[in-house]
Structure 1
């Protein structure tokens, strides 16, 4: 019965699209090529909703209508097809897509997600709705590392959904957390969506990554805040963990050395190293445990020393030894007045003297300046060359800058936090920290290395993607999951996904060329400008259209088909394409969460227990869709959330 309702909905939507296209053609006084272009757009949407492959539908429709626009000239049609394909595939930015996808598949097969979820839900055990919060954080981290929505939702459905249902969590809340959290990977960098938008709209992917960082964190934070407030106000929907669920077993050697769950770890480890108090536990094992316990202090000390060196480093002017600019000041001799050979200076070659390349009017001044040097030892000259030679030595001995007060405030705050950490560090918390050390921190370091190298200009997106792929190799090898089967599956899935994206780009290029050739873009632009919209009204209209398109279409289809229509309109309303891209990235979360084509819901339904219905999953996703709309409103009201970091880094 449910399937029939979905079919009726889909057929009704397609009928509305076809009826609208026919009405447009019949009501137009003169049918122009622009109207035919809009008809092509309608037919493409209907064909995709019927299940035809998106890329080949775009190519087929584009070639057919280009042939009609060129009055059945196959030569010009095929020329346009070849040129559009070559222009698209020559884009260097697209190289980063298979590398990021390959990194994602390697990380997915390293089996990190189970350890990550377990360590996070134990570390957040005292937070209201801890299982749901841990699910959202796990999804955010894992989705950021993989960027593959289906994989994250499926794995979390197998891992987190049974745990939440056993803990007494409501089915809609559990399903909403998994589906919403799994979709964060299409927004938080390194996101393939941002690469596709950047290549389609001609916006720098580097700036898009920098701009999407804080909106992504804001959306994840709003999800977590909603779950905590809901668990606090309605504990029946998200009961707290029981003592048994929060119990962390200790290793047997530590228990023999007298370790207990709530006993302070640092004093106990130091005491166990003395004499016979270790109860036969090897000293090497205890030293390793002590090193893990002291690791935060060591990292803090290294960071404090590195920061001190950075903030007190003297500012020195760059001195370039060797050749100097010709035609400089003539009163700057390097030799004696007679043209003899003077002692070479300390650094490289200097400008020749009077017999060299100096200008003739300066020769007399050169002789006057060089005369006192005749009876003085080398280095004692008081002429103009003296200060020039002494400057490098003085610069090398420059005193360090004064330490700013902010440094001491930061060090003091860090020291207080460190003292509080060790005051609360029990053996149970030490075991949780070790679990985080083996699951959470490696992923975060990989993500930050990739993002940091892009955002701070150390590498291009393609180079950073190569670093990420190598990091995925290292993670898989570190967790002993790197074998021929894993590599073969990852390469195959990467080739399959990358081919899909590249064919989409080719189909989009051909379709966009046909649409522009027919004058569809010009017709849309005239219609929008004829509405006399303000900037706010245009943004609302465009985002509503994208929101509605998210029902029947996926984000890839929306980006490659409709962004070439929207982007040329931005200049008319003074909208920054970077800011518009961030709004679109937030809005396109709906492509996976809005029924009836909410792919995340179907991914989750495929691995959920039989009693979990599709209606319950949809009901759980609705509050998170409302949070997405709130995030879009916040980003529009405070554009600095997305634009501050790009403006700071790339002025």
Structure 2
């Protein structure tokens, strides 16, 4: 077999092992080292080490020399260098800080106050409780970036309230599932940091580019919720005074000042310091982590147990992301060295695709990968396969990254592997069926596709803010 054939076999075997349920990070590292041992094998270098074995050497010396001969392969140098590269990556330094900010905010008891306040403020709007739940989800998801946590907390808080207010179970479930996924798109997003590290695109430009598409998607969600509430009032009846009491204007302002504005100010401070060049993403993430702790103290929710949980979850998630990068970098280096990247590039170039056709093909593959895989695995492992192909079609990696971020919303919403639906089903009342949740998320899934179409038709939605802040 030629080396490119071995590279393709390497990729196919990896995909097979992933579907069989093997841990992805360690599978990447094992396959990278295993195939890399073959790719970087140097017989002369090996035998020079083995020839140093002598009959008069002691048993321990012979064993040491044999090990030296076995390990005298450049793949081990590559693995060590890739590990050091990942662990010293300045972009990835922001990941644990943003995660810590999210876990602290999650435990600060902000969500219940925020939802209650917005529910009262929006009580005269069509589908008011749905609007309040969606805005709460968007703000909380943006602050935490942890889809499972947002969907679970909002499912415990908002879903029973909406069901009690006679909302259609499918409609209410769809709002929570869709709103909970927004944190991986709207800055400050951990997913965009990971994409920046994988692609080399400036994280500040990515944040600026993702802001308007994120607001477009939120706008489409809100339009759907309000529009359907007007056209079909039975799915979202207007609340009674017993369900949502009248509140004096002064008290409402105080409620907003103590629930909505602190979280909004924290998010805007972190994002604004990045976009206006006042701080690097890592520095802004540190500010956000400190701000989250201050909020938790002010809300009297800071305990040693919650702090310990936040630190533990931060370390665990950060370790997962970093080892995925180590495995991916090692795997992709060997795959490229064997000629696999060139084979794929020549194959795609031979298809004679237009830029639109290539984008559709790439987004379809990412959409399908979203069923069995997490977003982190897609970004770290599979997106880099497409990145070398972008110059062939004159596609800006910034634009491609925003489309991927929009597309990955679908990985949480597409049945039968819609993880948001399963998160919600795990804590929903027994009468809420999984089929109802699937039915509720489908309109929001269509909104995601519509947002992707809008971004492609009007690319300045992505490029406008980066050009305004940082030039072309």
In structure 2, what is the equivalent of residue 36 of structure 1?
6
In structure 2, what is the equivalent of residue 531 of structure 1?
351
Which secondary structure does the structure 1 equivalent of 2:181 belong to? Answer: helix
Asked if structure 2 preserves the Cα contact closer than 8 Å seen for 1:552 and 1:596, the reply is no
TM-fit CA distance, 1:114: 0.2
In structure 2, what is the equivalent of residue 148 of structure 1?
146
In structure 2, what is the equivalent of residue 90 of structure 1?
88
In structure 2, what is the equivalent of residue 616 of structure 1?
436
Unaligned 5+ runs, structure 1: 1-30, 249-426
Structure 1 position 473 matched with structure 2 position 293: yes
Structure 1 position 169 matched with structure 2 position 167: yes
Cα-to-partner distance string for 1:572-628 (whole Å, 9 max, x where unaligned): 111111111111100011121122322111111110111212221111111111110
* Distance across 1 between alignment mates of 2:110 and 2:195: 30
TM-fit CA distance, 1:534: 1.3
In structure 1, what is the equivalent of residue 206 of structure 2?
208
Range with greater deviation from structure 2 (176-185 or 64-73): 64-73
Structure 1 position 104 matched with structure 2 position 102: yes
TM-fit CA distance, 1:241: 0.8
* Distance across 2 between alignment mates of 1:615 and 1:38: 39
Determine which structure has the larger helix proportion and give its number: 2
Asked if structure 2 preserves the Cα contact closer than 8 Å seen for 1:173 and 1:237, the reply is yes
Cα-to-partner distance string for 1:11-30 (whole Å, 9 max, x where unaligned): xxxxxxxxxxxxxxxxxxxx
Which secondary structure does the structure 2 equivalent of 1:92 belong to? Answer: coil
TM-fit CA distance, 1:88: 2.0
Pick one of 9, 21, 30 that aligns with 1:51. 21
* Distance across 1 between alignment mates of 2:203 and 2:444: 27
In structure 2, what is the equivalent of residue 197 of structure 1?
195
Which secondary structure does the structure 2 equivalent of 1:52 belong to? Answer: coil
* Distance across 2 between alignment mates of 1:226 and 1:456: 33
In structure 1, what is the equivalent of residue 401 of structure 2?
581
* Distance across 2 between alignment mates of 1:43 and 1:644: 42
* Distance across 2 between alignment mates of 1:35 and 1:115: 58
In structure 2, what is the equivalent of residue 564 of structure 1?
384
Structure 1 position 115 matched with structure 2 position 85: no
* Distance across 2 between alignment mates of 1:614 and 1:63: 42
Asked if structure 2 preserves the Cα contact closer than 8 Å seen for 1:84 and 1:513, the reply is no
Pick one of 46, 64, 67 that aligns with 2:34. 64
Pick one of 318, 331, 342 that aligns with 1:498. 318
* Distance across 1 between alignment mates of 2:235 and 2:9: 49
Q: How does 1:95-494 map to 2 (within 5 A)?
A: 95-248=93-246, 428-494=248-314
Q: How does 1:606-645 map to 2 (within 5 A)?
A: 606-645=426-465
Scaled by the length of structure 1, what TM-score is found?
A: 0.67
Asked if structure 2 preserves the Cα contact closer than 8 Å seen for 1:154 and 1:603, the reply is yes
Which secondary structure does the structure 2 equivalent of 1:606 belong to? Answer: helix
TM-fit CA distance, 1:145: 0.6
* Distance across 2 between alignment mates of 1:33 and 1:111: 56
In structure 1, what is the equivalent of residue 373 of structure 2?
553
TM-fit CA distance, 1:71: 4.1
* Distance across 2 between alignment mates of 1:36 and 1:174: 50
TM-fit CA distance, 1:556: 0.8
Cα-to-partner distance string for 1:132-175 (whole Å, 9 max, x where unaligned): 11111000000011111110000001001101111111111111
* Distance across 1 between alignment mates of 2:19 and 2:439: 23
* Distance across 2 between alignment mates of 1:168 and 1:495: 42
Change (3 A) 1:55 1:624: same
Which secondary structure does the structure 2 equivalent of 1:244 belong to? Answer: coil
Cα-to-partner distance string for 1:213-232 (whole Å, 9 max, x where unaligned): 11111101100100111111
Task: State how many pairs are aligned.
Answer: 443
TM-fit CA distance, 1:639: 0.8
Range with greater deviation from structure 2 (482-491 or 214-223): 482-491
Which secondary structure does the structure 1 equivalent of 2:201 belong to? Answer: coil
* Distance across 1 between alignment mates of 2:7 and 2:443: 38
* Distance across 2 between alignment mates of 1:577 and 1:200: 11
Cα-to-partner distance string for 1:527-573 (whole Å, 9 max, x where unaligned): 00001111111111111111111112111111111111101111111
RMSD (CA atoms): 1.3
In structure 2, what is the equivalent of residue 257 of structure 1?
none
Structure 1 position 540 matched with structure 2 position 355: no
TM-fit CA distance, 1:647: 0.4
In structure 1, what is the equivalent of residue 469 of structure 2?
649
* Distance across 2 between alignment mates of 1:46 and 1:431: 59
Cα-to-partner distance string for 1:396-432 (whole Å, 9 max, x where unaligned): xxxxxxxxxxxxxxxxxxxxxxxxxxxxxxx623222
In structure 1, what is the equivalent of residue 422 of structure 2?
602
* Distance across 2 between alignment mates of 1:35 and 1:507: 21
Unaligned 5+ runs, structure 2: 47-70
Scaled by the length of structure 2, what TM-score is found?
A: 0.92
